[in-house]
Amino acid sequence: MPTRATAADFVGTWRLLDYSFIHEDGVIEHPWGTDVRGYLLYSAEGYMSGNLSPANDWASRRARLTAALKAHDVRLAGRAAGRRDYIAYTGRYTVEGDTITHHVEASLFSNWVGRPELRYYNFEGDTLTLRTGPIKSGKHSIVAQLVWQRVP
């Protein structure tokens, strides 16, 4: 059985290497492609902050939003602006057993505020893998997986 981590093991800055969805049948999907950007910070005082996005989608996102606004299509503009192609949240964190919980205090998504975001963790050298529990996606479930590398 692997050794459990303490909060001190998480402290530092982590750079995003991979963001993927693992489907029930084992298929791995990269919803933002394979070129992603982001940082996850854990403080010794028990606070965390995470920001992540696709690396190259900003130009196409701006173009979709601009086109929708020029066409005065509020519905299309809402969809273009509301796509989950940027995730940002912050709050306290706690570590227990094989999980770390992010206690969301502020988020780009208002429905995350006040909600605990539980993640299963695994350390391998300077790499940290965080996984959600199963998330309902249509008729099936997926697990979101984020792989981070410690910044020296």
Read off the tokens for 142: 């997926």
**Helix/strand/coil percentages in the chain, nearest 5:** 20, 50, 30
pLDDT tens digits for range 64-73 = 556 656 766 5
Q: What is the pTM of this model?
A: 0.81
CB-based contacts of 65-69 (< 8 A; 24+ apart in sequence): none
Using alpha carbons only, what angle is made at residue 16 by residues 31 and 39, rounded to the nearest 5 degrees?
115
Q: What is residue 147's predicted lDDT score, i.e. its pLDDT? A: 98
d(CA 123, CA 145): 13
Residue 137 pLDDT > 80, yes or no?
yes
In angstroms, how far is the first alpha carbon of the chain from the final one? 28
pLDDT at residue 91, rounded to an integer: 98
Mean of the pLDDT values across residues 58-62? 58
CA distance 11 to 47: 9
